[in-house]
A and B are shown apart, each in its own frame.
Chain A
Amino acid sequence: MPLIDGCIHPYPEGDSSIRRMALTARELGFDQVVAAGGNDEVPGVLKGTIIAATSVKEVVSTLQGIPQGDGVVMVTSGDLAFNRAVIGLRRVRVLKGIQRSPKGAFNHVAAREAEAKGVAVELDLSPLVGERGIQRQRVISRYRDLLQLHRRYHFPVTLASNARSILGQRSVRDMVFLARLFDMEEGEVMGALSSLDSILSGRSPVQVVRG
């Protein structure tokens, strides 16, 4: 299964070109990266589209402007009602920025729906690297809660560096160590790094084979 960095932000949003970030990702042990606002002409790069909207109506109208099958559609998370509605939308693949949402914004009901619809929740590692003190502690605690829900309801999760520069990209090994901060085990990290491949190919992580 290919290992995928869930989201990067290349130039002009960041300071590194998409090709350079793809080269760096390969050096750091990734097979592919999802580039927000990028294109999939560069080898090892999947096109990503981030929808940051305040209402579900706005998300739906933005989705209508995106061609069918055009990369990974990610929506920035909001409150619980917003998240549940977004999870129900057919083309949404990833719920982003869950650590910035209110605490009850993703509960067991949303977890069940995410599992049923195959929508992944992104665990953004950039606050673990870039923040210090109470902000980082809050994110770690939030991810620990999400991980408990993930273990119970088996909805997909992805791990993303959300790097805006090659200096923000981290290796697979670094991600394993950073994920240990919120008690995620190595097998779970590898599963999270390869979950986008299953989601995009429409495969369920567990396949039932009848004899």
Chain B
Amino acid sequence: MTVDTVKNAENTPDQEQPYKELGLKDDEYARIKDILGRRPTDAELAMYSVMWSEHCSYKSSKVHLKYFSETTTDEMREKMLAGIGENAGVVDIGDGWAITFKAESHNHPSYVEPYQGAATGVGGIVRDILAMGARPLAVMDPLRFGPADAPDTRRVLPGIVAGVGGYGNCLGLPNIGGEVVFDATYAGNPLVNALCVGAMRVEDLHLAHASGTGNKVILFGARTGLDGIGGVSVLASETFDDSAGAGKRKKLPSVQVGDPFTEKVLIECCLELFAERIVVGIQDLGGAGLACATSELASAGDGGMRVHLERVPLRATGMTPAEILSSESQERMCAVVRPEDLDAFMAVCAKWDVIATEIGEVTEGDRLVITWHDEVVLDVPPRTVAHEGPVYDRPIVRPADQDALQADLPDRLPRPARDDLLPLIKSMAASPNLASKRWVTQQYDRYVRGGTVLAQPADSGMIRIDESTNRGVALSTDCNGRYTKLDPYAGAQLALAEAYRNVATTGATPVAVTNCLNFGSPEDPAVMWQFEQAVKGLADGCVELGIPVTGGNVSFYNQTGSTAILPTPVVGVLGVIDDVRRRIPTGIGAEAGETLLLLGETREEFGGSEWAHVVHGHLGGLPPKVDLAREKLLGEVLVAGSRDGMLSAAHDLSDGGLAQALVETCLIGEVGARVFLEGDLFTELFSESTARVLVAVPRTEELRFTDMCTARGLPWRKVGVVDPESDALEIQELGSLPLAELREAWEGTLPALFD
């Protein structure tokens, strides 16, 4: 094997390099040559090409994402211990506890290889949380697929669900929520987003930087192999010599293969290392592998770094330096350790049977130098790799058909006759987006570690953080891509509003936001317009709600041919609850004698609604009106209601409106209800006006609670009573739906499609 050294690169300035195949543009390649003062070596080219990719460099989104930090006020920042740019955002939740949480996409790998793509998506986000110094506590998975009955969905969905479960269950992390959404635009481009939340004591926060000349760089965890090497494989010569034992070079799929057992052991090993306080800096190896970890650690530190690449333990023979640097083999971490702590570090790794290798050290100066058997194969200023990559201000054009889309009002759609309303409640409950997701979620362990207070199908997942105080956190992720398509600015705010409301509905106070922004190609000016609008909407919304965005992820190029997915800015909101015993459950019937109240106002709003989608296949008009001031007030009332024990159940109104909320609260609570509505019954039942929550109030608390709503100016209306004797949902003037029949409709859809 001949290795392209720096010396060789200096001597062969005109050698042609496959930079285009690696995804670099002409001017990007020219800039690399400019930075280095020569052509890059194969290893350098590999490092720059992966680090300057859209995925790692955020080159198309950077100019827009800075709007998040520009709009975050000092007051919003008060509880933030780490924000955008770190592995994950960190929030102080009181009592000395810090919470870190983040979402990431693994969309494209999951389409190619559903099980492994989804599994390694979970593995990657968990390592991000671990790298902050936290114990990972729970995961959530917002998923989106093509039409539920499409043949390819049958291929993709079971694999993705099994992958999420297979990896997360084996890691011992409860899966506490997420989403499963179907829409034709996701056919050929499913979305697999994974969120992880972790906790640590405030003083244990670890940041990824390599500091202190002489400190050692340790690579630990799994061996490095050929898996997950994407475009970089073009650097491997086609006429690779036979010394590796094979006649022709064996290419492995560029989707990585996960080993959750190794990751579980790695988690426990890292936590023990943190507890011993022998880690100066730590970084996980995810996208772009060692190339990313070494350049980011060095770039964020106060010195340079020297790495002896031949020391990296391999699981394949004949790997080139470029391949080792860009391998995305899973379950690896990189740590910076003081020399005097090296033995202790190695002892902990040995206890857990984790392979750990000293691969380099922090040096004086500001260069990242990588050698291969003492020959320099890479010598770069790390900031130019990790933090000073290309930035594009791409053209933005409001789509030509946006006006026509918004003018196509749902008003023209035929409404159901009064007699058809009851059957419509049932058929809507059975439609794929509204149907029970139990087929999916029962493949996920929600109990492990004994901290899960709420999990799917609750409005938010809730985890107890501290057993002695019962302090806990709640999390919800949401996004309605149809709303975002109709109006990306409002759509992003609606996603934020829904996640915020879901968290408050369970009794927690929303405190921070993360996101996973899934969009089409940034080279399409119409997509960039959607992106820019969504970022603005989300950031402005956060200012109005007074909670910061602490981190996020961007996934572009989600499209099939020239058709982009619905713009899907998934928003995750984190809430804090002082005492998880005060949580508000979703199902009614916990207390004898409950009144059902509808909080908020119902308007005739059907643009982008589930009804228009299911019944008419229609998408047009404007999404429901955003009212963040009202969301905030509603949240305060719900949290107060939880704190004072005035609420026995609550359920947020969103897709499918009041009808769906009633169906779910009855079925989850396994008890019937009698409902009386006024006005236009169709609008009452199916409108998707926001800032509404259905609550159950014990009769003894009814007056106290409604007085509070009135005093605070929150509209409320009595819409029914819980009937413990009844096994039906009865709607006055319309008739009654037996719960058994509703359950069959709601729970039967997914098993019928996927069993």
A, B bound: no
Instruction: Give the interface of B toward A (CB within 8 A).
Output: none
Instruction: Give the interface of A toward B (CB within 8 A).
Output: none
